Amino acid sequence: MTDETIYSHEDTLKMLDSLFREEGQWWDQFYADRDKGIPFFKDSPDENLVEYFDAGHIRPGKVLELGCGGGRNAVYMARQGCSVDAVDISQAAIDWGMERARKHEVQVNFARSNIFEMNLEPGSCDLIYDSGCFHHIYPHRRASFLELVNRTLKPGGHFGLVCFAAGSMGAEITDWEVYRQRSLRGGLGFTEDTLKRFFSDFETIEFRRMRQMDQADGLFGEAFLWTALFRKNK
């Protein structure tokens, strides 16, 4: 029987986690059918990520990708010469990413894990990238998320973010309402001001809407998403 006594702040977080669905199982089912017409199932990197490398904002280094899904961005970054650790809560997603890495003949360290249970070396990463993870983070875990990013980045390291833009995509409900409904309703939408406030300890390098891309371009891009590149102060 699970001990339901709360002794610490971490016990409180785990209790709040338990109010929601079993995330790993849900995402395993989501990734089970790879033929679904979902844009980010295509083997194409984010257009903003490619621009970061092309413009020289990001250079090859040590990368951690949070919520890597089917591995399309992790593989791209490995092809640019990065050493990539890619994490997702879904084993089905991790398996897909490993297949893609073999297909492209690159090395990516894929791991199935809850990001809040990882043992990460402080100051070890040049880049942490999140394409679609943050808007699925429960409000009570945001402080832990920000602490993870800040602790793991090197001074001067970058954090790249792609998430739902309020008014175009994502649930527009209050954080309190998340707990009343016990649901993120498919992911929360954020305003520019809200995101910049969350990441106010970082320098904003670029903040814009993602460009709409045609799949023929070989890049992923949906205009209902924000893209942002932040830098940790030295």
pLDDT at 3: 83
SS3 for 196-233 is HHHCCCEEEEEEEECCCCCHHHCCECCCCEEEEEEEEC
Q: At the top level of CATH, which class does the domain 39-232 belong to?
A: alpha beta
pLDDT at 152: 98
SS3 for 67-105 is CCCCCHHHHHHHHCCCEEEEEECCHHHHHHHHHHHHHHC
Contact 133, 66 (CB under 8 A): yes
pLDDT at 98: 98
pLDDT (tens, 9 = 90+) of the chain, 234 residues, equals 678 999 999 999 999 999 997 778 999 999 999 998 899 999 999 999 999 999 999 999 999 999 999 999 999 999 999 999 999 999 999 999 999 999 999 999 999 999 999 999 999 999 999 999 999 999 999 999 999 999 999 999 999 999 999 999 999 999 999 999 999 999 999 999 999 999 999 999 999 999 999 867 899 999 999 999 999 998
Residue 185's region, left for phi above 0, alpha for psi from -120 to 50, else beta, is left
- For the chain, the structural domain boundaries read 39-232
pLDDT at 1: 64
Residues 141, 16: Cα–Cα separation, whole Å = 9
